[in-house]
Structure 1
Amino acid sequence: IEKVEDKLFQARTQLTVALMLFDQEEYLKSAQEYEIYLKAYGDVAQRIGFDRYKVLFRIAQCHQEYGRQVLSEDPARADEEITKALESYDQLLSEREDNVLIPDVLFNAGFANQLLKKDEAAQPLYQRLVDEYADHPAAPNGLLQLARIAYAASELKQAEEIYTAFLNRFPDSELRNTTRMELGLTYKRLQDTDSAIAAYETVEEGWDKWPTVQVELAELYMGKQEYEKARKALSSALDRADDNTLRGQMHYTLARVHFAEDNFAGAINSWGQAIALNPPVHILQNSLLARGGAYYEVAKQQDAVGDTAKARVSYEASLEDMKALLESDPAPQIKDSAFRTLGAGMIRLGRQEEAASYYQELIAASDDPQEQATFSMLLTELYYDQQDFVQAEKFARQLLDMQFEDDNQAGYYRKERAYSIIGNALLQQKKYEEAARIFAQGLKRYPNSGESGNLAFSKGFAEISYGDYETAAKSFKSFVDKYPRNANRIHGQYYLAHSLQALTRFKEAAAAFTELVERYLQSQYEEEALFLIGENYYNEQAFAEAVTAYQALLAKYAQGPYGGSAQYALAWSFVEQEEMEQAVGAMQDLVANYPESEFAPKAQFTIGDYYYNIQSYDEAMATYEQVLKLYPNSEEASRATTLVEELSEIQASFSYNEAMKLFEAKDYEQAVPALQKIIRDYPGTYTELAAYCNLGLVYEITRQWSQAVENYQVVEEKGGDKPENADVVSFAKLHREWIVENRL
């Protein structure tokens, strides 16, 4: 290559070297040679028929093949190389849609994703293959499986599209009712209740799973508070249900409908029917727990109206259900709920000490360390629920010292929960640093358990509460990444963004607030987050992005608490980009739409400054006068007063110059009324005094001595001893005295 000067020959030879290395399975060396080709011969690549697109594709293949080559012996390196390949494929797919290599790129990209165990990323890449073989007998099953894979991966919109495509393409398939039911489940997870209902209602009544679908349908109607429709769906399904398990579930769900309607008597009756059917254990236990809870709610209502006798009966009925439930040895979570309701019922009956003693006796009477731990936890939570945080902390710490075989049958370890209670009790006592240490200890001990996400979130919350924003930002970032399904994730995202903002890492903060808005549509934080996206971009001096953010806020929450501030910041974002017409328009909108905003006088004043700077003095004067009229008590009013005076001088000087042209042309007949008009229009200005002076001079020239003296006298009286008027006063005095002495 070095000995030949023909660049085309050099390029072809370079390609040959790369191809030979690839054939010899020297993939990384081959990639290097291709990169040399791209850098050294990019200008002739098109001419020899091996352009940049092809080279990038071959480089990607090199990395992918090397990844496959080392996959068994070095999985981490394999992932790294395949990821490089995938990035290149993605780049190629984003660059061209018409290249002949697109099918190869699609296939290789899909295969690379599979090597990385990312089936969800491979789905859209393989979709074309499915489309091309639509008439194949396996196509319906294949398409349905694609939908199920998407559903399992929480790619719900994609799943919806595939399910819908299935129904459109294969309306008579034996799988149609299965597809309709699964489409309904997809809409349910998408929280698109109306579409889920529509999908379920298309399921044919003759299908064997139709009664089960009606239970799902009733759940959705309950969510919409359309209880009559929920009851109708369950009633129809009860006529078709042919086993006690399903019938018990239906009675259980119907009871929940009654409960949601505050029809506690109906709920208690339906749960009783479910219990009477001797249903499977889980329905029986849930019905006992729910009916006991309903009795508890009835008792509270009876208490509220002073019917303590009936309330006592209802509380006792609740306790009986809870005790019956506990005798059935329910799952840990149900058992905990039963014990809590039992304790709460005792407290409602005025038996607080008995409740505490009850748990303590259970602890003392038990020889099982596991059971002792369960009761200790319940006692701890009883104190916490009663907001006795000191006692809750005390018993939680005792639990940490207990020796027992901890397990997470309840969804969390008891000692893990104890750490959480101690930390939250300390938070309630505003002992933030100590709380952060406790949460950190719990998280270190239980990094991947049921309570781990809450520990992680609470640790960050404690840190931000005592102002350690750097640590808090790290904690919240770790939390949102590691626990994406935790109920507190939305709050973690919110506090992550605020931590970054407090650290003046504005670009990162803007990105975090953006993710909050995009991930949690219509959330409680959306309006504030939209505003703070703009604020952080503004502070980062990314003014174009700030404009977009402020406009997004104003489009959705124009009359919200951030409207005026966002409008003002939008205007200044335009100013910073020297887009003054848009800036003035934004400030005019602020004054018009947010006249009571603290920024309105500032905006009005700034509009005046704009007109002043472009020498549109009439508009500037009018704008400053509006400041004085609309906001007389604002800080801007005093500044506006000064500028109004200054503009008066400017305008007066223009008129004065025109009058002086007449004077210098000795057109005194026109000069006199022009000077008199200045005196009338601009009282209190320096120009007024100059006009009096020159009016006197006209009369002096035309030998109208008395009128001259009169005008000079006015100058002396109005000019006084002010230094800025000294020249005209001196001139007037000198001329007046000469006339008096020599002509009068």
Structure 2
Amino acid sequence: MEMMQKKLIFIFTLLLVVSVYSQTVSEKFASAMEKYEQGRYADSYTLFKSAAENYGIEDELYASALYYAAQSLIKLGEKDEAAAELEFIVNNINWSNFREEAYYYLGLIYFDYKKFSIARARFESLLEEFPGRKFSGSALYWIGESYAAEDKLDDAIEFLLKAVDDKANNNFRDYSIYTLATVYEKKGDYENAVKYYDRLLSYYRKSPLLVSAQIRIGICYFYLKDYQSSILELNNPLLSNLSPELYSESLYLLANSYYRVEEYENAERIYTRLIKEYPSNKVMRDAQYGLGWSFFQQEKYNDAYRVFNFLSAEDDSTGIESFFWKAEARRYAGKDEEALIIYKQFLEKYPASNIIPRVKYQLGLLYFNKNNIELAKRYLIPAASGKDNTVRAKAYTLLGEIELDKKQYVFAENYFEPVLGISDNTTDTFHRALLGLAVSLYYLENYSAALEYLNELMALSPGFERDRVNYYLAEIYFAKENYKEALLRFKAIETESEEIKRLALYGKAYCYFNLGDYDNAALQFSEFLRIYPNDKRSVDAKLRLADSYFGSKNFTASSKVYRDLFSSKGLPLDDPYAYYQFAQALYKSGKNEKAIKEFTNLQKKFPKSSYADVSLYTIGWIHFQNSEFSRAIDEYRSVLQTYKSTSLGPIVYYSIGDAFFNMGKYDSAIVNYKMVLTNYPSSQFIFDAVNGIQYSYVALNKPESAVDLIDAFIAQNPSLNFSDQIFFKKGEIYYSEKNYEKAKESYKDFIAKFPDSKLVPEAYYWIGKSAENLEKYEEAIFYFNTTFQKYPKNEIAASAVLEMGSIHNKLENYSGAISTYDEALEKLKGSSSIPEIMFMKGQTYIKMDSLQQAYEVFSDVSYYYRETIFADNSKIEMGTIDLAAGRYENAEQYFLDIAEKRSDNLGAKAQYFYGLSLFEDGKVTEAISALVRVRTVFSSYDEWLTRSYMLLGDCYVKLNDKQKAEEMYRTVIRKHKNDDFGKEAMDKIRNLK
């Protein structure tokens, strides 16, 4: 079309100048065009040059003649001369319509001569002078091609992308896309390469580049490891039109892709076809090697051996690898002796090969499997010294496992540890070494390091040797006394290994035992003994079973197991611990006489054991429990007489004191309690002894004597770390005697004497309580507020707030109570007393008649603290507010919710109010049913039962059944004849008359 337009221009130009120029000139130009169109380019060139001589340089026909002369030279292959003509046009004729064409063809000529920078200059001039014109897209393409030819890949991509986008002015759109894809492929950007190859295949199905793009996209998918897509592309029938060289390459890649996706049968088929149909292809040995591997992966070890053996005849890299793998093929085929021979042949033939360590490792592995450990180590040690880290890691790991089996844990650790530095942490070898190292460290009692490695293994590969990992984790946690976590790990074991199952069951039993879950411990030990009755641990399991029964208070079962152990001689009679537990089990199961007998026997049989004095003491304790106080005292004293240096001294004197106290002999009790204070001032029984003295003096009506005793004790033992706790009891004594003034003084003395004691907050609180009981409310509030403000994190602070609120309410200072509660709710966030404080705030609002605010507070308590008793109390309060407001349905829902879920006093109250709400709502029959439920479910809560009878009477009045009404009222009178309930019931009966 463009050529036709040019011809019309020429003809029109000729017509214009016909009056000026002679017919000869016109005929000459027309003749030149005719020769050009006939392909007689030598003649056309001569005529165009001749015609040009008849025009001036400013004439368009001059430029036309020169341009077609240059085109004629291009057709003749005279590109140098053509370039000269075109250069003249672009350099000297600025106004010509042929400048664009001249630039374009100059660029093509220079590109053809590989003068890429000059070619780009001409294409760039074209783009600058004629942007967006017919050659712009093509020029961009050729600039991109030139950069690609010089391996200036980023520049090539820049221009090729522009060329691809310029669809209107690019005659090489398919080539632009193809070249862009190849550039991306050269850069290793296979994803973008695939993108543009795929665009070419999708939109330019008639392009001559289609087949090339098909193979290239297959190759790119291969390098992207998208082998399925590679298979899809390389299986395209179009590829059969490739040259034998390219087609054989495509088959090789196709076979490799099948291999990578583990379709070994298909890989075998394609490799075989390639080898058979293209025997001279350049990848023949690689294809044969791939075929050998395809056989190997299909466990066709004899076929694999045949191929590897054939390839091993040559000494190239493929031949050397094949020599190794033919040995492996024999090993995998179970022909270990042949494998050994081939490996040794390899050592002789290729002593300098870089795979010698790999061969030695395999020899070591073979000898290891034959249980020839010494020979195995002879090969494994040099294998571990090679340069191949994969082989080194495997060799070190196997050496570690050998030492682990021999219980040489230090050597095992030294072999396993280097693997962590030379092996990828995703490999099976790394995981084996990590487990082996952890196990070695466990046996070396380095539990923290072992635990760290096992946790790392769990994070890297959760499924690797899961049961073994869980077993050793359990054992480590057990050794670290974290029995709860150990139990979880033992439970996670789901092995088929009988030995691990046995150990896991035994471990679970011990975890439960050490956690104090004796019921489950007994179940596990019983199960262990049932499944493994002859295990070497059976005696220990029976002993722990007996202990577990004892711990779960199944003393009859415990004593039976101990008796069986003794009678079967499974447990020697010279074991004082078992004997003691046996006697204890008898005592705990209520067999006191038998227990006393065995405790007595134990003390006689093992008088020097650590259980001898305890046995004598326990005999005394049994008598004490049976209220045989005199005999108890005798036995207790026998402990002190028989074992003068016994550690039981404090508890013995304390117990004697208790026995005298229970006999009403308070003076004797005090004497023995004082022995604890005098002889054992740092004993844990000091507090109990002081309590005993306190109660004794109170019983003797001598509380001051108890106080004097405390003062004397503190004076004699001023540096004891619990002196403050003893001194604190002075205030308790006065407070319990309702001597609140002296209680205040005592607590104030305590604060002065022990300002750093942890009991100071409690002292301030009890000063407040004492002042409150003396009705000194301002003083009480002062000390309660001191407790709250100075010690907000102490639990006593919340109690102080509640006391302050109570005093404010008592004094009808409701705003003061609300302020106190609000400040506490802000400062005591997180305290367990928050719901109670909120509830009391709601109660205060009720006293203020601020029912809406009260309702909101109760609603918050019931929602945010629904598991507490204050939530249920709040629901009842909301119900009563709704009841008073006539919102019966809401009230009934709240009352019913509490009544159905609680069986205590609160439940009884809710059930009564549920009946009351129904009554006031006019649902008398339903009210009767609700109130009867108080009698059937909550009969032990007299207040609500009485109120229910009273209201039942009112219900029957409503129903005009005066007989039943009177019956209900008289039921109240029988139980409450002389109180307000009784009087109210009598008034109701009178009103019936």
TM-score above 0.5, yes or no: no
TM-score normalized with structure 1 length: 0.39
TM-score normalized with structure 2 length: 0.30
